[in-house]
Amino acid sequence: MDRLDNTIRPYAWGSTTAIPRLLGVEPTGEPQAEMWMGAHPGAPSRTPRGPLNEVIDKAPESELGQRTVARFGPRLPFLLKILAAGAPLSLQVHPDLEQAKEGYADEERRGIPVDAPHRNYKDANHKPELICALTEFDGLCGFRAPDAAADLLAGLDVDSLKPYVDVLHAHPEDAALREVLTAVLSADPEEMTHTVTEAAAACSRLGGAYAPYADIAHHYPGDPGVIAAMLLNHVRLQPGEALYLGADVPHAYLSGLGVEIMANSDNVLRCGLTPKHVDVPELLRIVRFEASDPGVLRPEASADGEEVYETPIDEFRLSRYVVSEGAAPRDLTRATPQILLCTAGSVRAGEQVLAPGESVFVPADDKAEVSGAGTVFRATVAA
């Protein structure tokens, strides 16, 4: 197995302290948003044998195993991250696999450069993802029931929001959510800025259930995404709890530290809370307009102590082990590639001793045992 040297991405929404605290180092004062572990060409992990993507390119079947290559091609099909949100991320949705293929092919035909700011589909893959909280973690996930969203907006007592309240009470669920989100994102910018400013002041005054939206408005003053966010479920994860985010479901991370795993894709359609491009027609085509429960996941323990976060896709499988000093080593050998990440204590993975935030890549079928006293997350392929 190879110890990984991983890149930390300094996105503006990142916490300045959470990742340094995990790693046991002094903060730099700059935001540290995500630490990437994997073979994504944008920031591949470095190994003693070279960048992980190049290591895999040289011998994909040896590194990934025949089964993984046959199913997903000669590339690591997942990306593992430590994510530290100090401010809300953009409100967004991801396409399903068919939508991604069609969207990518269409933009290729139209000759839109892949790095163009208005490009929606950077690749032809979907981007399901799972976030597991290491600290208390706040997010938005899926639409509220229209009546509940109407009550939340009505409680602000803002005149310009009252037509949205009436629509949410009067229409069938999907039509109501579609009509209101369309209206919010298509409104006159000056009028919407005024509405958001009034709504933000009311959220600050009321507190309680409105507090998350006051914080969002603080970071994104005047952004229509503040009103769009109020159509969504607010969820607070406790450490060890997780959210699975499938296709077409609007969501945003607000604050906290977590382990995130996703399929290798950069396809994002934004709804707001961002200075980046928002393609309203394409977004409305992709979003699934139905109320849903956020579906907080808790790990399911197996006989060997593995705690698995069950998801309905094959590109990744995330689990964790809590190991105790003096206990027999746990055999994690598997016919698929793995990344092992320590998040607490001190864990021995093979000959490597891992402190919090440290990780290793384990090629398919390589012997992998863990022991020590701490917590280790295991990222691999479900198929």
For residue range 181-224, list pLDDT tens digits in order: 999 999 999 999 999 999 999 999 999 999 999 999 999 999 99
Q: Can you tell me the distance from the alpha carbon of 228 to that of 216, in angstroms, rounded to the nearest whole number?
A: 11
Mean pLDDT, the chain cut into blocks of 10 residues (383 residues total): 96 97 96 97 95 97 96 96 97 93 94 91 92 98 96 97 96 94 95 97 97 96 96 97 94 97 90 88 92 92 91 95 92 96 96 96 96 97 84
Give just the sign of the alpha carbon dihedral 179, 185, 186, 191.
Answer: positive
Percent of the chain whose predicted confidence (pLDDT) is above 90: 87
Which residues are the active-site residues?
Answer: 270
For the chain, give the longest Cα–Cα distance: 65
Distances from the Cα of 52 to the Cα of 113, 277, 337, 381, angstroms: 27, 31, 12, 17
